[in-house]
Structure 1
Amino acid sequence: MSPSWMSRSRGQADQVDGPLKASEKRSCLSRQSKTFWMLLVAGIFLLIIAIGLGIGLGIGLTRGSSGGNSGNGGGGSGTPSSPNSTTNATAGEYWKPAAGTSWQIVLENPPTDTSLNVAVYDIDLFDNTASTISKLHANGRKVICYFSAGSYEPNRADSAQFKKSDYGKGLDGWPGEYWLNTNSANVRAIMSARLALAHSKGCDGVDPDNVDGYDNDSGLSLSPSTAEDYLRFLAIGAHSYSMSIGLKNAGAIVNATLDFLQWEVNEQCVQYEECDLFRPFIAAGKPVFHIEYPGSAPSISASARKSACDNNEAHGFSTVMKEMDLNDWVEDC
């Protein structure tokens, strides 16, 4: 289109040029017809090319989205599986102590004496460094790392990560501690991080405490079945890091968890006359790490020793006598 056409209307052009002769009209129509058909053919040709490119591009995109996970070049949307993706709570290679294994437990502070002639030390996950655990390993000890899996503690390094909605009622006798909703995704994420911390420090196993909220006035919807599910979750996580894991107290779920847990840590089953609940671990060749708290400790009378050590239901247990604050003092049977 010429600039002159753009500068004036069609009516003005007709007036200036005047009427066309018939021959000129036919010639003009002929030229217009040829131009029309040429443009039509060109348009069809371009349309065919465009359709072909579109089909090719569509096939390419389809192949890219369906096969992107198969190559090393990537770009696929597949998510790699995590170490915890297995639903088999017994899978993995990890330490499996035998019934009767000797032990010491120190939770009040890092142990000041790491030379005690026992096979296992149970120590606090947060209060002990990797170097302490390495030193115990150098002395031929296995190390179990303790943390509370079922209660909020106010002074732990990750305490601020808990939400108010994760809490239940307070623990009797433990100011500032609250029962946790172990079904909470946030609670489980924090516990997964604790398992990773235990692994990074070199722990051979973990001792998750307070998993028996179902047996207490927790203010939460907890039951033996929710406790079993929670322990299965923790076991899968621990085993994925090649760490063992045990049951803490919780006699009601011994049989439900026996196959995927490696030991029992029990407090005061002699005092409460319930040691028979934990005997399935012994029958399975797994240790019951058993604590009694004589009121006269650290002075132990003959009768107190006999009561703790000679109980028929606790036969074969790895029994120690401790003070309630679980300091370094210990006396075994």
Structure 2
Amino acid sequence: MKSAKPNVAAVFGSLTKQVLTGVCALGFAATVSSSPVSASPLDVGDRWDWQLSGPVDLDRDVEMLALNPDLVTRDQLQVLRSQGIMAACNVSIGTVTDTSADKAAFPVAVVGKNRDGHSGEQYLDIRRLDVLVPLMTKRFLACKAKGFTAVEPDNMDVYEKDSGFALSAKDAIQYATTLAHVAHGLGLRIAQKNAPELTGALLPHFDFAITDRCYQDGWCEQIAAYPRADKPAFNAEYTDADIDFGKACAEGARLNINMIQKDPDLAAPVVTCQAEI
């Protein structure tokens, strides 16, 4: 059963005041607001690549690169920016790892079960906006300080997982839209990451979409709401999946979703719908 969408005005009336008061108390008053950033430099149909495992290869003829921030330098990001390539910083908003530099800042009460198949990575209680939004703001600020101009908020679909918390779609919408306003207040663009069933609620607040396996799992139509709204949608299929990537490309062309094919580790090699590079 789908949860009803929250009243966005109510969410950003009482909730945002509470959350951003806490953020400002941490010294971010000058940088956090609910003001939108300027028009996106991305267009529907733009090309992309996604690299979360090293070594990275930044010699890509694309308009957007989603990257693990630990694998790139400020200088590299500056070069990308000078080339007109938007770099999106991969940030987990739904988990914390044992190796996270900020792990000690997460109270035990908000840390739940291990993420499926990932020992050393735990789900977070996304209902605790008072705790998590200031911590995620710090993560977003670190991305901006390094030179990223967008964020890819990973593990947005924590509410669907066996997290150890009684999370709902309403919780996820409230958390994600709050973080979208924080990102925009920092001058960063932000992607919806998967969670296709939340697209109707999230689309007005997010600048583009990054997804994986939408063709394999049969939900590309849902994320196609982004290009219909003149916002880009990017999808990756995986080389270990039993799919016909040519058919995935045809589906992407029909729906204006940019398709690529990657290995499951999201290393540098990529197959586009035109060629392998």
What is the TM-score when the length of structure 2 is the normalising length?
0.82
| 1:151 partnered with 2:95 | yes
Q: Hey, what does 2:259 align to over in structure 1?
A: 319
Superposed CA offset, 1:115-148 (max 9, x none): 2111111101233221221122233311111111
* d(CA) in 1 for partners of 2:77, 2:270: 19
Measured in 2, the distance between the counterparts of 1:84 and 1:250 equals 28
- The answer (yes or no) to whether the contact 1:146–1:206 under 8 Å persists in 2 is yes
Deviation at 1:85, TM superposition (A): 6.2
Q: Distance in 2 between matches of 1:179 and 1:313?
A: 35
Identify the residue that residue 95 of structure 1 maps to in structure 2. 40
1:217 paired to 2:162 = yes
Asked if 1 retains the 8 angstrom alpha-carbon contact of 2:90 and 2:152, the reply is: yes
Amino acid at match of 1:250: A
Identity level (%): 27
Amino acid paired to 1:82: A
1:206 aligned residue (151, 158, 170): 151
Aligned residue in 1 for 2:214: 269
In structure 1, the partner of 2:16 is none
* Aligned counterpart, 2:182: 237
Instruction: Give the superposition deviation at 1:93.
Output: 2.6
Give 1:177-216 correspondences, 5 Å limit. 177-184=121-128, 185-216=130-161
- Offset, 1:192: 0.7
Give the Cα–Cα distance (whole angstroms) in 1 for the partners of residues 167 and 31 of structure 2.
Answer: 23
Moved over 3 A (4+): 83-86
Q: Which runs of 5+ in 2 are unaligned?
A: 1-24
Give me the whole-angstrom Cα distance separating, in 2, the residues matched to 1:149 and 1:199: 16
1:284 to 225, 229, 240: 229
Report whether the alignment pairs 1:120 with 2:67. no
- How many residue pairs match? The answer is 247
Which of 282, 304, 310 is the aligned partner of 2:244?
A: 304
Cα distance in 2 for residues equivalent to 1:305 and 1:273: 14
Q: In the TM superposition, what are the counterparts of 1:31-46 in structure 2 within 5 Å?
A: none
The offset of 1:91, in angstroms, is 2.5
Q: Which structure has the bigger radius of gyration?
A: 1
> Cα 1:243–1:94, aligned 2, differ >3 Å: closer, same or farther?
farther
Q: Distance in 1 between matches of 2:47 and 2:199?
A: 21
Structure-2 change in CA distance of 1:289 and 1:81 (3 Å)? closer
> Is the 8 Å Cα contact of residues 83 and 237 (structure 1) preserved in structure 2?
no
Looking at structure 2, the residues matched to 126 and 161 of structure 1 have their Cα atoms a distance apart, in angstroms, of: 19
Give 3-state SS (helix, strand or coil) of 2:152's partner.
strand
SS at match of 2:215: coil
In 2 relative to 1, CA 229–129 (structure 1 residues): closer, same or farther, beyond 3 Å?
Answer: same
Bigger mean CA deviation after superposition, 318-327 or 90-99: 90-99
CA distance, structure 2, for counterparts of residue 83 and residue 258 of structure 1: 27
Which residue number corresponds to residue 10 of structure 2?
none
Higher relative contact order (CA 8 A, sep 6+): 2
Q: Distance in 2 between matches of 1:133 and 1:198?
A: 11
Q: Does 1:141 align with 2:107?
A: no
RMSD: 2.3
* Cross-structure match for 2:111: 167
What is the TM-score of this pair, normalised by structure 1? 0.69
Answer 1 or 2: which has greater strand percent. 2
Please tell me whether the aligned partners of residues 32 and 182 of structure 2 are also in contact (alpha carbons under 8 angstroms): no
Determine if contact 1:95/1:243 at 8 Å carries over to the other structure.
no
